[in-house]
Structures are given as structure tokens and as C-alpha cells.
Structure 1
Amino acid sequence: MAICSYVYSGDRVFSRQMMSFILKFRYHLYYSGGERAEHGVGFIVIGKQMKRVIRWKPINDRICVLRIKGKFFNYSLISIYVPTNEKPDDTKDAFYESLDKAYRDCPRKEVKIVIEDANAHVGREQFLYPIIGTQSLHSATNDNGLRLVTFAAARRMAINSTYFACKDIRKHTWRHAIGSTYSQIDHVLVDERHFIDVIDVRTFRGPNIDLGHYLVIAKIRARLSSVTSQRNNRTMRFNIQRFSAEGVATEYRQKLDERIDETNVTGNVQQHVGGCPRSCDYNGTRSDRYSSAAPTKRLIRLKVSQRVPNEKNASRNRMLVIGTRLNRERYGEARSAEKRTHCE
């Protein structure tokens, strides 16, 4: 899964396990962002798909590349965040030069897929039909759209997000936080020779990512590799022959004894157990400090932090079903309340 226009201040690459009432899975985050945390792009790889990652290449805070191992072809996924239409032309030219270089650096025989927050309106001009199709939400192409179409034509790619027929509600990829303005600015580009492998591209409005963007899902017919382990991940072997050298075995024994002495618990065991804030007595009862049934401040804050996101999601669902001005204002108030909760 590609993420665009995302700001994150933690580790650039890390792995974590998530649990829910239904399933448990592990995901790996690859993030490319600048030091000022203004923009950011990246990928989230879930579960066993991490073993199929060949290479991760962060370029800047707007472009990154992730290579996936396939059965017949490898896949180069390029996640980009294009400058908005109001930015100067020099900024846009520099961005597309970096994007063109990142595309050329990918192996020639691999399948290239560009997943982007393009900030571009692609129209329905007839002379652009071979590249953009006929199912765009907008009727006219703006400046960012022309730059996107020019890049796709130069690299023999197709803008698949404007090829498939669906309701306009499935074409909206961005929505103003409170207003009723909708746009189709997130696109998916695939090489022309693999165009037939793309089954569908559409928007799903249900997931609430709280960024003004909807979730765009592209269904692509792909055969990934059935590799079960990484090629270069070999088990380290210990050099046992070094113990035959003079003094090595004695030094190893001394250091091992020192480590064992450091880990041993000495003194009164009750002092070590009593230092735990949630300690129990020897008869199995809780200590008097935590025996009160009154809720603590931490528990109250936890309940509030769980209630506020639920209220925000409920307000968003009402706004999507009945998009009145009152429902939009209530959703904006719920978002502000959640942000205040995180800042406390």
C-alpha cells in the first residue's frame, strides 16, 4: 500500500505488529520524508509480503521506489507526491526531472507502476484518449494534468485511474475538509505493455484516513514470487576453532561468569517485588495502593480517547450519507475535538 502526502516524524523504516478483535498481522513501514516534515511518501508492506521486497530506495520527500520480487517479472512501485497546481513552474520542472530519473534508474524489464497524489485534473480531451481513456471525472485538463500526461506519453504509460467506468462517487479521490468540493487528483499509472493486467481502479470512501483523501484501490493481476526466505539472509556461524588458541577459552569463561553475576538477583526478594507499582502481596491480594475501585485519571483519559474517534467516525458517516451543511460543520467540530485530545 502506497502512502502520499503523509508526514511522519518517527523511524524511516520499522516493523510493527497490530492486533484487532478479528485478526492479527504484522506490517512494515517504508517512509521517505524531509527533515522539516512538510511532505512525505512511502509504502506499507503487510505480513509475509516483506520477504518479497528486493530494494527500498528513498529519493526525497516527494519520491520513493520499492521493488517487489515477482514470478515472471519484478515490480517497481514508485510513490510520488506532486507539487500543487499553484506552485511555480521551476518547482514542477525540478520534480518531474527527479521523477524521470527515478523511472530510468528502474530495471528496464520490470513492471513500473506509479502511484501518486498528482494534484492534477485529467480531462476528457479526445486527442488524449489513448493515454487517459474516457472516464475522467473532469472535463478539462489543468497544467498539472498536462505535465502528467506528457510524462506518461514519454514513458509509454497509461493513466489507468481514468479508464474504468463507474459512478462519479467512485471517482472522487479528494474532498474539502468541510466544504462540498470534490476532485479526482490521485492517479495510478502502469506500463502500456501490462495495461491488460489492470482489472479495476476505484475509490472506497469507507476507510477514514482523516487527510481529505479517499482510499484508492487498484486491482492488478500479478504473479508474485513464492520465495519463503531472503536470499542473502544467512545464518551466522560461530568460529569454534578460536577456543583452541591460548587464553581465549579462559577469557571467554571469565566474561561469561561476569554476565551471570550481573543478571542474578541478590538481597531481599520482597524489595525487588515491592518496587513494582502493580505489586501483589504473598497471599495473592492486591496492595492497598491499587485496591480502590474508583477510576483513575489515566482510565478516564483512556475512555475519552476512545470515545472521541468513535464520535468523529459517526459524524463522517452521517456526512457521507446526508451531505448537508449542518453535518459538514459537525464533522469539522468532531475532527477539531479529536486533535485537541491528541495534543493533551
Structure 2
Amino acid sequence: MKKISTLRIKAKFFSISLINVHAPTEDKDEEVKDEFYGQLEAVYDSIPSNDIKIVLGDFNAKLGQEESYRPFLGRHSLHEISNENGMRMIDFAISKNMSIRSTQFPHKNIHKETWRTPDGLRENQIDHVMIDFRHASDICDVKSCRGADGDSDHNLVRIMYRQRISLNKRKLGTVEKKWNIEKLKLDEKCRENISRK
């Protein structure tokens, strides 16, 4: 079963590469988790460096609100303390200079919850979104939507994305240099010399 898939969207100014993941659960062996993150790193590194890279999906990771991982990790996670899978995800984000955007936006807990235990007693935020720090402000919001019919025990995670581009702006008070196009016109002597050749 494939746990990592990619989609590359060619846009006008930047290409966007989406990496969708389904990470091993917390109870899996360390070797399985190491293999998964090794594959994720290989896929991430194979994408052109000038692409906007967004890694998203079911990380099976509870991310806490630990201050020591700022600015990679936000203040608005559903959980107080990260579990082992959460620490692996944070390590990956730090190594690739990515912002975990699913923990950056203040929402009610019902809009952070992405999965509920089968007995319905505990809510978890285990589906996450990361993006390169350079483009972190492109993701304006991340929020889970309960009640979406997706044939899954996970809630749909909605991402508000707006691609921002920077245009060169003229500084106020500066005058653009105007070129004298008339000087480019050939005089009679030049025309005669060119026509002889």
C-alpha cells in the first residue's frame, strides 16, 4: 500500500507540489516509522527546489504547544504535548525549514479535531499541513470541517490558500529614465554604408 503520493500543479509564477502522506500509527515499530520518513525525505528532495512544497495528510501525529519548537510549530494545536510521531514530524519540519500551518490558526477545538476515537470519547488532531517557510503566508487558514461525507473516519481538512507574488515597485520620488528612440534612427551616411555591404 502506497503511503506517499504527489501532485504537481504548474501555475503562472510558481509550480506547486503537493505531497500527500499517510504516516504509520504511534504503535508501529521504529523501523517502519524510520522507513516512512526516509521515503518522505527522498520524495521531498526529488521535487524541484523552486517549487512551492506543501506536505499534508494523516501524519498520525499529535502536536503539542511546546514553546521550544517555535516558529515551526504554532500555539493553536488541540494537544498540549507532542507524542513520538509528533516529534518525528517536528524534526522533519525543522530539517526542511517548513512551517506546520495546521497549528498556526486560532479556532474552536471542534474545528481543530481531525479524527475521533471509535468509542467517540477522545478527539485528536492528527492530520496536518506543512509548507516551506518562504511561502508560509500563502496558507491563510487551516480548519477541519465536520460532517463532510468523505467515506472516512477523519474530518475533512480545509486549507485556504492564496498565492502571493512580489512585484517590483517603483520608489516614490524616482523618475524612470526615458530613452531617446530618435537616436536609434540611422542617418543618411549609415544607410548608404549598410546598403553597400
Which TM-score band applies after superposition, normalised by the shorter structure? 0.7 to 0.9
Say if 2:36 is the partner of 1:95.
yes
Distance, in Å, in 1 between the alignment partners of 2:106 and 2:12 is 30
Deviations 1:48-86 (CA, angstroms, capped at 9, x unpaired): xxxxxxxxxxxxx10111110111100111001000010
Q: Which residue of 2 aligns with 1:193?
A: 134
Output the aligned Cα RMSD: 1.1
Q: Which amino acid aligns with 2:61?
A: A
1:160-309 alignment, distance < 5 Å: 160-222=101-163
- Aligned pairs, number: 164
In the TM superposition, residue 179 of structure 1 has moved relative to its aligned partner by 2.2
Q: CA deviation at 1:115?
A: 1.1
Which residue pairs with 2:91 in the alignment? Answer: 150
% identical equivalent positions: 43
- For residue 177 of structure 1, report the CA deviation from its aligned partner: 3.2
Letter in 2 for 1:124: Q
Q: Which runs of 5+ in 1 are unaligned?
A: 1-33, 35-60, 224-344
CA displacement 1:23-44 (0-9 Å, x = unmatched): xxxxxxxxxxx3xxxxxxxxxx
Q: In the alignment, what sits opposite 2:194? A: none
Structure with greater contact order relative to length (CA < 8 Å, sep ≥ 6): 2
TM-score, length of structure 2 as denominator length: 0.81
In structure 2, the partner of 1:108 is 49
For 1:99, what is the secondary structure of its paired residue? helix
Q: Please tell me the residue identity of whatever aligns with 1:87.
A: K
Structure 1 distance, partners of 2:142, 2:68, is: 22
Amino acid at match of 1:127: S
Give the gaps of 5 or more residues in structure 2: 165-197
For 2:86 and 2:40, how far apart are their aligned partners in 1?
15
CA distance in 1, matches of 2:119, 2:153: 9
For 1:40-51, what aligned pairs fall within 5 Å after superposition? none
For residue 84 of structure 1, the aligned residue among 2, 5, 25 is 25
1:180–1:208 Cα change, 3 Å: farther
Structure number with larger C-alpha Rg: 1
Find runs of 4+ consecutive structure 1 residues off by over 6 angstroms.
none
- Aligned counterparts of 1:177 and 1:222: Cα–Cα separation in 2: 38
Structure having the larger proportion of residues in helix: 1
> What is the distance in 1 between the residues matched to 2:135 and 2:141?
13
Q: Distance in 2 between matches of 1:111 and 1:205?
A: 28
Structure 1 counterpart of 2:41, one-letter code: D
Partner of 2:71, secondary structure, is helix
Q: Which amino acid aligns with 1:180?
A: L
